[in-house]
Amino acid sequence: MSKSIINPNLTNFQKEVMFNQSTEPAYSGEYDDFYQAGDYACRNCGALLYSSSAKFDAGCGWPAFDKCYPNSVIQVPDIDGRRIEIVCSNCSVHLGHVFIGEQLTVQNTRHCVNSASIKYINKDQAHPIQKIESLVVGCGCFWGVEYWFKKLNGVVSTSVGYSGGHTDNPTYRQVCSGETGHIEVLKIDYDSSKVSFEELIRYFFNIHDFEQVDGQGNDVGSQYLSLIQYKTTEQKTIIQKILTELEQKGYKPVTKLLTETKFWPAEDYHQDYYTKNGQSPYCHFYKKIV
Ligand SMILES: [Zn+2]
């Protein structure tokens, strides 16, 4: 499985550890000598990996855990041919190595983890009151848009569909004809205690070509418009701020800002298309721009 950057706020050093299997210097990590109660999640994708109850002082200079949450960590032979590497089972980033048989705890296992790869969540944050909000965006074939937004931490559920046209309950065939005026869109339900509207909008601009008029790559047609539906003037201001940033970087975004209109869910076979078919998007790629 290929690894991709899901958390847009990673530092270069954190990326170096997680994506290039680097190791932070011993005794340097923020969780080496840190024992507050809570959980540790993957810093890239947010998946829960370890409980503080499994953390122990191994004296080795890196955070040590004697077990992980079930199925959260995968062990793979390290390219050095000697050690066993551990990676996040959800997003495959490098966490560290596992050592078995050292007799340090009853589990007889030491997950030696880089602080750079994990993020501490205190007990209160671990179970926040969910605040689910929704956002509708369009930026080309909705299969690829859904593929990428499903990866983002804080996104609770997604649904592909159609919006903006002049007929009710449009079918895919009708939308593709271009005669109904609908646009392929994604409805995103997100937990705003975990991901902000601004983070979603920044991510949106990082997964598609916002300079292409009426299309994405080879998909050309008015149904592939780049658009964001906002609900409040505060949201509109946030989008305009990011558009200005893009223009200052020399880009010419053609993204349309529209007020919220009726969302028509697409046919079942379009939902989770890439997951169901084990394929990857052909016209959406993640590239950190803004
Ligand atoms: Zn992960």
Q: What is the maximum span of the chain, computed from C-alpha positions, in angstroms?
A: 70
91 catalytic? Reply is: no
Q: Are 253 and 144 in a shared domain?
A: yes
Q: Are 63 and 46 in a shared domain?
A: yes
Domain harbouring 48, CATH code: 2.170.150.20
Domain assignment present for residue 97? The answer is: yes
Q: Are 28 and 47 in a shared domain?
A: yes
Q: Are 147 and 261 in a shared domain?
A: yes
Residues making up the chain, counted from first to last? 290
Domain harbouring 179, CATH code: 3.30.1060.10
**Alpha carbon of residue 162 to chain centroid:** 23
Q: Are 100 and 140 in a shared domain?
A: no
Residue that terminates a domain, selected from 126, 146, 161: 126
Residue that terminates a domain, selected from 126, 150, 166: 126
Compute the distance from residue 277 Cα to the ligand 1 centre, in Å.
22
Q: Angle at the Cα of 64 (from 195 to 50), degrees rounded to 5?
A: 35
- Given 45, 91, 112, 283, the catalytic residue: 112
- pTM equals 0.57
Domain assignment present for residue 290? The answer is: no
C-alpha radius of gyration, the chain, whole number: 22
Compute the distance from residue 153 Cα to the ligand 1 centre, in Å.
10
Q: Are 136 and 267 in a shared domain?
A: yes
CA nearest neighbour of 187 among 239, 255, 265: 265
Compute the distance from residue 39 Cα to the ligand 1 centre, in Å.
14
112 catalytic? Reply is: yes
Q: Residue 112 belongs to what domain range?
A: 12-126
Domain assignment present for residue 96? The answer is: yes
Residues near ligand 1 ion, CB 5 Å cutoff: 42, 44-45, 47, 88, 90-91
Q: Are 106 and 209 in a shared domain?
A: no
Q: Are 73 and 208 in a shared domain?
A: no
Check: CB of residue 259 under 8 Å from CB of residue 235. Answer: no
For residue 8, the model assigns a pLDDT of 83
Average pLDDT by consecutive 10-residue portion of the chain (290 residues)?
Answer: 78 97 96 94 91 95 96 93 94 96 94 97 64 89 95 92 94 91 94 91 96 86 92 96 97 96 94 88 89
For residue 1, the model assigns a pLDDT of 45
Residue that terminates a domain, selected from 126, 158, 175: 126
CA nearest neighbour of 150 among 138, 160, 163: 160
Compute the distance from residue 181 Cα to the ligand 1 centre, in Å.
39
Compute the distance from residue 72 Cα to the ligand 1 centre, in Å.
9
Q: How many CA atoms lie within 13 A of 281 on its CB side?
A: 23
Identity of residue 97: H
Q: Are 222 and 261 in a shared domain?
A: yes
Tally of structural domains, the chain: 2
Domain assignment present for residue 65? The answer is: yes
Q: Are 156 and 140 in a shared domain?
A: yes
Cα–Cα separations (whole angstroms), residue 116 to 92, 173, 247, 248? 15, 48, 33, 32
